[in-house]
Amino acid sequence: MESKKRNNSYDTGIAAEYFVLSQLYRKNVEAYISQGNKKAIDIRIIKKNGSTVSVDVKAIRGYASWIVNNITAKKDHYIVFVTYNNKIDQINVLPEVFIVPSLEVPKLMKAFKEEKRVMKSPILQYKDKWEYLIS
């Protein structure tokens, strides 16, 4: 029986969501993943003080840029950009993670034809900013 080939971007997105969720659990954070592929919130976090934070995970296999056409900028909402740097198949290589407050994303976007994108260089300052989601 032949296995059905899935969309690479879908697989990349799912891998990134569960990677982020795993990292949050490792940091002793109460977090829940949303199910489905047409959702604006991928992960919901409940902080120790009872307040909540929402997360939208954007993932790419390579280096280029993330499509951000459907980003919602609002308080207590973060975009977690994940790049596998063309090494998604190398399980021992961790992806790079950039945690950006969604209110900052519109300033970081560039238009390319009909798409809005975020390039890697403008978000370098947000690399591994897990404290945004935890504290």
Q: Is residue 33 part of a domain?
A: yes
Quick one: DSSP state of residue 7? P
List the pLDDT tens digit at each of the 135 positions of the chain: 444 555 688 899 999 999 999 999 999 999 999 886 667 799 999 998 899 999 999 999 998 899 999 898 999 999 999 999 999 999 999 999 999 999 999 999 999 889 999 999 999 999 999 999 987
Q: Is residue 106 part of a domain?
A: yes
CATH classification of the domain holding 23 = 3.40.1350.10
The confidence score (pLDDT) of residue 7 equals 61
Radius of gyration (C-alpha) of the chain in whole angstroms: 15
Q: What is the DSSP string of 24-64?
A: HHHTT-EEEEPPSSS-S-SEEEE-TTS-EEEEEEEEESSSS
Q: In what order do the strands lie in the sheet with 43-46?
A: 30-33, 43-46, 52-60, 77-83, 96-101
Q: Is residue 39 part of a domain?
A: yes
Q: Is residue 53 part of a domain?
A: yes
Q: How many domains does the chain have?
A: 1
118: Cβ contacts below 8 Å, ≥ 6 apart: 58, 65, 66, 68, 81, 105, 108, 109, 110
Q: Is residue 1 part of a domain?
A: no
Residue-number span of the structural domain to which 78 is assigned:
8-134
Distance CA 127, CA 35 (A): 26
Q: Is residue 117 part of a domain?
A: yes
Residue type, position 28, single letter: N
Q: Is residue 3 part of a domain?
A: no
Q: Is residue 2 part of a domain?
A: no
